Amino acid sequence: MINNKFDDNTIIEKVENNFNYSCKSIQKNQMIKKSIYSKIYSGILDNNELVCIKTINRQFLTLIEYNMFYNEIQINQMLKSYNHDNIINYKGYSCSKNYIDLIFELGNNTLDDLIMNNPLEIQNNFKKYIIEILTGLKFLHDKNIIHGDIKGDNILIINNKIKICDFGISIINNNNNNKLLNHIGTHPYIAPEVIKDLTISCKSDMWAFGALLYKIINNGYDIQFTIKNENNIKKLINYCGEWNDLLEKCLKINPDERISSEKALEYVRLKYEANI
């Protein structure tokens, strides 16, 4: 029998605690996205607050998937107490017989939406966005959280501010010796060490950040993830102008040689100040 961590009675109690008021109804409106495990809706709470609802149909989940969502809730719960500017604001969850609903503040666009549909907006806010992504990442890494799936789809822009979201496959860093059970993440954002032997660390997020930076600079074109040697990577990023240097530091095959979020943030801030 499945170990049901989402026992209905416990959850109702937790919803009230999480929302800081007694939320009696959550109304789902428009569906925004549909993925393998979840559906994302815009919606409204009974205090008229507009929210995003990530709904998971619990009927067809395997135990592993079940635990993944439990993990997602726990990480969001932990992050909620810090209320960081560049992390999506999680409000709580609700659970019924068939569904688990995770409630978040509602975003308008993902970074990928902007890269594809509004490149001018990206151009105008480029350094601000890069600094805010790195600020969010540094915060997560300082708290020992590996995001595990950094990409433009998991970065929202709300009121012109970057908000990292989707902690679905995030894990707590365990002395830099974390082994995944199976492949997770998204090509080409999965770091070489994850592909090679499923070892993941905060540095794996920095590879993903490098791949994202490459995509932003190259008008939506992804780096080729089959590229396994550093010389080829160097040749590719040679065309990335003033951001070559940071890209090279992020896209190191060896994670020990890869730049940390702290150093990358320092690097960008210095570069930014020097340009003003």
- Kindly list the residues in this chain that would bind ligand ATP in the complex (CB under 6 A): 32-33, 35, 37-38, 40, 52, 54, 88, 104-107, 110, 153-154, 156, 165-166, 168
Report the residue number, 78 or 184, with the smaller CB distance to Mg ion: 184
Task: Tell me the closest approach of the beta carbon of residue 229 to ligand ATP, in angstroms.
Answer: 29
Task: Tell me the closest approach of the beta carbon of residue 156 to ligand ATP, in angstroms.
Answer: 6
Quote the CA–CA distance of 241 and 9 in Å, as a whole number.
57
Binding region for Mg ion (CB under 5 A): 154, 166
Task: Tell me the closest approach of the beta carbon of residue 138 to ligand ATP, in angstroms.
Answer: 21
Task: Tell me the closest approach of the beta carbon of residue 165 to Mg ion, in angstroms.
Answer: 7
Task: Tell me the closest approach of the beta carbon of residue 173 to ligand ATP, in angstroms.
Answer: 20
Report the residue number, 111 or 237, with the smaller CB distance to ligand ATP: 111
DSSP 252: -
Site of tokens 């998204």: 186
Partner from ligand ATP, Mg ion, none binding residue 32, C-beta < 5-8 Å depending on class: ligand ATP
Site of tokens 């109804």: 25
Report the residue number, 54 or 58, with the smaller CB distance to ligand ATP: 54
Phi, psi of 178 (to 5 degrees): -100, 125
| Contact predicate 49/27, CB 8 Å | no
Structure tokens at 271: 């570069």
Give Cα 276 to chain centroid, integer Å.
Answer: 30
Q: Which amino acid is at 202?
A: C
Report the residue number, 36 or 274, with the smaller CB distance to Mg ion: 36
Structure tokens at 236: 């590719």
Distances (CA, A) of 109 to 46, 153, 182, 219: 24, 9, 30, 17
Phi, psi of 51 (to 5 degrees): -140, 170
Report the residue number, 55 or 178, with the smaller CB distance to ligand ATP: 55
Partner from ligand ATP, Mg ion, none binding residue 110, C-beta < 5-8 Å depending on class: ligand ATP
Partner from Mg ion, ligand ATP, none binding residue 37, C-beta < 5-8 Å depending on class: ligand ATP
> For residue 167, which of 193, 139, 194, 192 has the smallest C-alpha distance?
139
Quote the CA–CA distance of 176 and 205 in Å, as a whole number.
13
Report the residue number, 39 or 271, with the smaller CB distance to ligand ATP: 39
Task: Tell me the closest approach of the beta carbon of residue 149 to Mg ion, in angstroms.
Answer: 6
